[in-house]
Amino acid sequence: MYNLATIFAMHGFVFYYVTATILVKEYKVDSEWRKHIISAPDVLRGKPRIKGTRIPVSLILGYLASGSSFDEIIEEFPDISKDQIAGCLDYARDLSEFEVAV
């Protein structure tokens, strides 16, 4: 049995967890993802997205993985906040702790 963190690490996505820890501490923001992330089958085919937008969590994680700061992301997407970006990281962290049977 592998947990999702192990599977992500096998594919090089462990960066998200490290980034979440560093950036959330740096910006001291509320990172409870359930306040900021939603999913509905009729929007973006059910992909998790930032509440009140059509911006998928995966897009924000991609920006962070490429080295963008919270401020640079907000410059690109002025309708989102630092709390919402931190929520994306917290969502990825929670997802990485999910265990699947293989």
> Domain residues of the chain, as ranges?
2-100
Query: Is the model's pLDDT at 20 over the cut of 80?
Result: no
Exposure class string for 3-28: b at 16+ Cβ within 10 A, else e? ebbeebeeeebeebbebbeebbeeee
Of residues 47, 37, 39, 27, the one with CA closest to residue 93: 37
Side-chain half-sphere CA neighbours of 12 within 13 A: 3
CA dihedral 20, 25, 83, 7 (to 10 degrees): 10
> What amino acid is encoded at 79 in this protein?
D
Q: What's the whole-model pTM score?
A: 0.69
Please give the structure tokens belonging to residue 3: 């947990």
Query: Is the model's pLDDT at 13 over the cut of 50?
Result: no
The pairing of beta strand 37-38 with beta strand 2-3:
unpaired
pLDDT band at residue 1 under the 50/70/90 scheme: very low
Mean pLDDT score across all residues of the chain: 79
Query: Is the model's pLDDT at 6 over the cut of 90?
Result: no
Query: Is the model's pLDDT at 9 over the cut of 70?
Result: no
The fold adopted by the segment(s) 2-100 is Arc Repressor Mutant, subunit A (1.10.10)
Query: Is the model's pLDDT at 41 over the cut of 70?
Result: yes
**Res 27: pLDDT:** 53
